[in-house]
Structure 1
């Protein structure tokens, strides 16, 4: 097939995306596909509209890639693309609003306060009620960009200021001490299956950018060692999160598992990292799916969804 790979972009996760893109391109070429590599920039949107390919793999992360905008361009161009559609991509990217859907579905979330640009910050800090430590992060960024673990009110204020450099909305969130895990989900609509639970043990104190992407920055245990009930809850909630957001093809949902009580959902990633150190490929390998086969599966799911939606529109 002739396949476009969209990577790079202009978000804070550009470097990660470049690595994801290279890995995807190598995998496709190893399977004999013709690859059109596109280092995407929103000012060159016509590149997408003029693509002459059978499918597109989106290896972008963050804004202008994971938030529904590039998906809208591909919809206009009539090109099947990997991952979720416009609405689900935008919703999953918005951590505050996606949490509303998670809670409504019965998935445990952390307490939070949303601060949007122009809000009365003093009133929002008062609303937080001095519960420390807490997590301060941009509402629509990934890869731990702009994230602060605030131990006191001064750090909270600094964290809000830092997060506003990356986004117009900031989430102050309850800090939950627990084991970091993630659960990949794969499959067509209504047939989604959770892959094995993966525990992440960062070398740094917190699972920060370096822990995520530096070689040896974290250890991945797959499958994670939990009791059967916890494992089942994590897998069921990962599939449920995928479905309530309307995701398609694949996603990866992050959780914290405290020593006591149910897991707490952090977020769902509609375009999880696909670098050599990424988590989704680890989960796939655990069930016998190698990297090139995984990328081809993403494309098959994309084409099937595109054909199904095209048929529905005609009817």
Structure 2
């Protein structure tokens, strides 16, 4: 049987570029090269290129997503390892849907919806999913600090609405600090969301389609050494990520059921990782990631490992499911 050509896309246009390159290389190193012809493709604002085995760059033809390396190479499937835009917000998904090339993450609508925190939360509320109280701002809006504090209280979180890896996020304790936090978030996005502080146990729940079934992975508890689970806590070792989480059976069942419900309501495919905070026994949804980190240190691969799924199995299953579509 001929080996299938698989493109692993990485990079992107956002602050998460370097993390995505790392994720993409982990996928490249763990997929079985005896089963697939693997190609690393870097998607950047100023270039789309395919790396050959010597690291030389070959331009990608955007008209049909092909590349010339000696001869013309086309792809049967795309493994999406781009965090942030354009890989997590629906743009690449729509592009591949138009070209008829299967890809491993969810569809373009689901990606766009989950990437927009406020749209996601407003979609989930009618389904009984609890969320923090929030206040929304668009660039250019008048900033009424008293109204913000009345609505969400202090401390509160100021977040870029469409950004990942905790870029553009601040925890604000005093009304006087709101303006600078809002400015920081607007540096990442033209929409921001200000949320009430939920004081409880934070957990991350991975849900994947594996062997044709929706599977909830063992839950991870996030214990940050910093004031919250910020970039430093996520990527520079300033947090403990404990899998399985030290929570009661009741909480485990509740949050697993909720994460699976969200996956099914949204008709997600591929990987998702949903973040929750427990207030008492009730999980409150923070966000849903549809192209989560895939390095050895990332949460989802650790959860898969705890479920007895190796990285090669995890990555290969994603391609197998995409090729069924």
d(CA) in 1 for partners of 2:299 and 2:83?
15
Match of 1:22 in 2: 25
Q: Distance in 1 between matches of 2:164 and 2:314?
A: 23
- Offset, 1:29: 4.7
Q: Does the CA contact (< 8 Å) of 1:113 and 1:128 recur in 2?
A: no
Q: Note if 1:143 corresponds to 2:165.
A: yes
| 2:291 is equivalent to residue 288 of structure 1 | no
The equivalent of 1:54 in structure 2 is: 76
Contact 1:184 1:280 in 2 (8 A): yes
**One of 232, 256, 260 as aligned partner of 1:239:** 260
3-state SS, counterpart of residue 282 of structure 2: coil
Residue 320 (structure 2) aligned to one of 281, 285, 300? 300
1:109 match: 131
Higher mean displacement: 110-119 or 86-95: 110-119
Q: Quick check: 1:10 aligned with 2:10?
A: no
Unaligned runs of at least 5 residues, structure 2:
49-59, 67-73
Matched, 1:134 2:156: yes
Q: Distance in 2 between matches of 1:210 and 1:84?
A: 28
Q: Indicate the structure with greater helix content.
A: 1
Match of 1:252 among 270, 273, 278: 273
Equivalent residues, number = 302
- Distance of 2:85 and 2:212 partners within structure 1: 28
- Could you say if the C-alpha distance between residues 59 and 295 of structure 1 is closer, same or farther in structure 2, counting changes exceeding 3 Å? same
Summarize the alignment of residues 1-315 of structure 1 with structure 2, pairs less than 5 Å apart: 1-29=4-32, 32-42=35-45, 44=47, 47-48=61-62, 49-51=64-66, 52-122=74-144, 125-129=146-150, 131-187=153-209, 191-214=213-236, 216-258=237-279, 260-304=280-324, 306=325
Gaps of 5+ in 1: 307-315
After TM superposition, the runs of 4+ consecutive aligned structure 1 residues lying more than 4 A away are 29-32, 42-46
Q: 2:211–2:317: 8 Å Cα contact kept in structure 1? A: no
TM-score, with length taken from structure 1: 0.90
TM-score by length of 2: 0.88
8 A contact 1:84–1:249 mirrored in 2: yes
Between the aligned partners of 2:104 and 2:209, the Cα distance in structure 1 is 12
Q: Does the aligned pair in 2 maintain the 1:9–1:40 contact within 8 Å?
A: yes
Deviation string 1:172-229 (CA, Å, 9 cap, x unpaired) is 0001111221000011799422111111222323211111112x33222211121111
> Greater relative contact order (Cα 8 A, min sep 6): structure 1 or 2?
1
Whether contact under 8 Å (2:149, 2:175) holds in the other structure is no
User: How far apart are 1:126 and its partner, in Å?
Assistant: 1.5
Counterpart CA distance in 1 for 2:267 and 2:212 is: 11
- The answer on whether the counterparts of 2:78 and 2:101 sit within 8 Å (CA) in structure 1 is yes
RMSD: 1.9
More strand by percentage: 2
